[in-house]
Amino acid sequence: MNQVNDSAPQFEAPAKTCAARIGTSPENNAADSSFNRGGPSCRVVLLGASNLTRGISTVVETSQNFRRQPLEILTAAGHGRSYGIETRVFGRTLPSILDCSLWEALARPATIPTVALITDIGNDVLYGVEVPQIVCWVECVIQRLEQVQAQICMTSLPPIDGASLSPARFYFFRTLFFPGCRLNWETALDRAQQLHARLHKLGTARKITLVEQRRHWYGWDPIHIHLRHRPHAWHNILSTWNDQDSPSAALARGSLRRWLYLQTRRPQQRTFWGLRQRCQQPAAKLADGTTISFY
């Protein structure tokens, strides 16, 4: 298991550029109208795993609706992503969120405000990590974000308990998403409840907004927000970023083209079936000038 390292890791210069610009589409005409050639108005840090990866297009659009455009977005996500250990999913290996090079990019001087999202914290429970260690990792992330005076929101764990998640359903999804996990149903639920309580205490102690997730956002899959609920869910979660100049931010309308574009962007560093790959960031640029870097 990797140890938490409070200093930013060092990385080689990326080998090539994967950035491209997505053109105008009916779904982002509103964004085009507010194109600002003067540079980004806000820096957005997105930290999470599969929910953030699946909903990245909705999260980006929601962020644009709440904050003045264009944005500089830095994200560390990915299916199965851990806050403190290197993870491998379907042949793809990513460093932990704490050990990725996002922190180097974030350390660069900025004159614009920074907002941050911390989500998908429960993955590490199913990697067998003890609750105190997970909380330590999250607190380290918070400390780094506080150093750049970020406005932080953090999500609670999905609302899972013995009444809503049967042992059979738990073992099915454990095998599907975490095949190496050997935690039994009782232990996993107990640790999830402990982590949920500790996150509440941490949020209160650090004066961070903790957003409770809603049970109806989830379907039979207990850990991934259902597609039809993503616009409302992410709007609710990110509403703490609401700029006073835009009190009536609209729900994300969605764009299949933008979703496909963002899903095919490559992170700054990964290993794919033993081959180490690098990609210069930002890897994506939207029509309104918003840039998105993946780490």
In the 8-state DSSP scheme, what is residue 264? Answer: T
What are the structural domains, with CATH classification, of the chain? Answer: 26-242+256-294 (3.40.50.1110)
Give per-residue burial for 186-223: e unless 16+ CB within 10 Å, then b: eebbebbebbbebbeebbeebebebbebeeebbeeebb
What length does the chain have?
295
Peptide bond before residue 40 is cis, with ω within 30 degrees of 0: no
160: burial class by Cβ within 10 Å (0-12, 13-18, 19+)?
buried
Neighbouring CB atoms inside 10 A of 248's CB total 6
One digit per residue, the tens of pLDDT, for the chain of length 295 reads 444 344 333 333 333 333 444 443 334 433 333 334 568 999 999 999 999 999 999 999 999 999 888 999 999 999 999 999 999 998 899 999 999 999 999 999 889 999 999 999 999 999 999 999 999 999 999 999 999 999 999 999 998 887 778 999 999 999 999 998 999 999 999 999 999 999 999 999 999 999 999 999 998 899 999 999 999 999 999 998 886 655 568 899 999 999 999 999 999 999 999 899 999 999 999 999 999 999 9
In angstroms, rounded to a whole number, what is the distance separating the alpha carbons of residues 294 and 287? 18
Question: Residue 127: what pLDDT?
Answer: 94
Cα 175 from chain centroid? 23
Question: Residue 242: what pLDDT?
Answer: 80
Read off the pTM: 0.84
In angstroms, rounded to a whole number, what is the distance separating the alpha carbons of residues 295 and 280? 10
